[in-house]
Amino acid sequence: MKIITTENLTKIYTDGKVEVIALKNVNLEIHSGEFIVVAGPSGSGKTTLLNLIGGLDKPTDGKVYFEGKDITTIKRDELADLRLKKIGFIFQAYNLIPVLTVFENVEIPLVLLKVDEKRRREMVMEILTKLGISELANKRPNEISGGQQQRVAVARAIITNPTLVLADEPTAHLDSKTGGMLIDIMQKMNSERKITFVICSHDPQVIQRAGRLIRLRDGMIEDDKKLW
């Protein structure tokens, strides 16, 4: 089943009189259950592609369809709803809310979805246990390691059981062992929960685990290979 379809997706940034083409006529289809790695050098347009697919940014030209619906023209609140219910984000810098505990950080999307408190507690503890960080539930982000923070970010991204998880350089700030463990977790969630992952990375150990590898260069797809 097609989750994402992009049509001639183009993004041009304007800095004064200078125009920078970040993405140019990208046509892409993403299917349910895929484990995609988008690779490419810095400035190739990986993050831009991810932001456009996730509805965090608007394209200069072209369309993005999420489950058949054009998300480039819908209203902000509708987009927020879509992200809340269908898309999870994992960022390079973890981006946890520092004043909230691990438990509360993971709980936010469920609060926004108005899930009742008892059910929230069960769901959060279940995911934290699955990711091996249940003992950190009451700690604040600054009290745990980078690897642990990124696992919390994964928990937050998948707590609502989204259709799609978008991860932007998730291992960039982690050592190779921790990075490998994180990829294990994401792959496990992909196979167990059938969550589609699109991961931007130039980390070789991430690239070698890709189920489908898309290579970007200068804002265009250079190569798109299904590996498993």
Partner 1 sequence: MILKLAWRNIWRNKRRTLVVLISIIVSVVVLMLLDTLSIGMLKQMLDNQISLHISHIQIHKNGYKDDKTVKNYISDELTVEKTIKEIEEVKSYSKRVISYGLINSAYNSSGIIIVGIQPDKEKSITIISNLIIEGKYIERNGEILISKKLAQKLKTEIGDKLVLMASDIDGNVASEVFRVVGIFESPHSEFDKTHIYITISDAQRMLKIDKIIEFALILKDQKYVNVVKEKISKKIGNPYEVLTYAEVVPFIGIIIDMYKQLIWIYYLIFGVAVVFGIINIMLMSVFERMREFGVLKAIGMKNKNIFSLIVLESFIIGVLGTVIGIIIGFALYIPLSKYGIDLGIFAESLAWFGSGRVIYPVLTWFTLFLLFVTMPFIAILGAIYPALKSTKFEPVEALKHI
Residues in touch with partner 1 (CB under 8 A): 51, 54, 56-57, 76-77, 80-81, 83-85, 88-89, 91, 95, 97-100, 104, 107-109, 111-112, 156-157
C-beta of 50 vs 133, nearer to partner 1? 50
- Output DSSP code: residue 136: G
C-beta of 22 vs 28, nearer to partner 1? 22
Please give the backbone phi and psi of residue 210, each rounded to the nearest 5 degrees, phi first.
-65, 140
Of 194, 160, 185, 193, nearest to 83 by C-alpha is 160
Smallest separation, CB 109 to partner 1 (Å): 5
C-beta of 47 vs 215, nearer to partner 1? 47
Smallest separation, CB 92 to partner 1 (Å): 10
Distance CA 141, CA 39 (A): 29
Q: Are strands 164-168 and 196-200 parallel, antiparallel or unpaired?
A: parallel
Q: Are strands 61-66 and 69-70 parallel, antiparallel or unpaired?
A: antiparallel
Smallest separation, CB 225 to partner 1 (Å): 28
C-beta of 20 vs 80, nearer to partner 1? 80
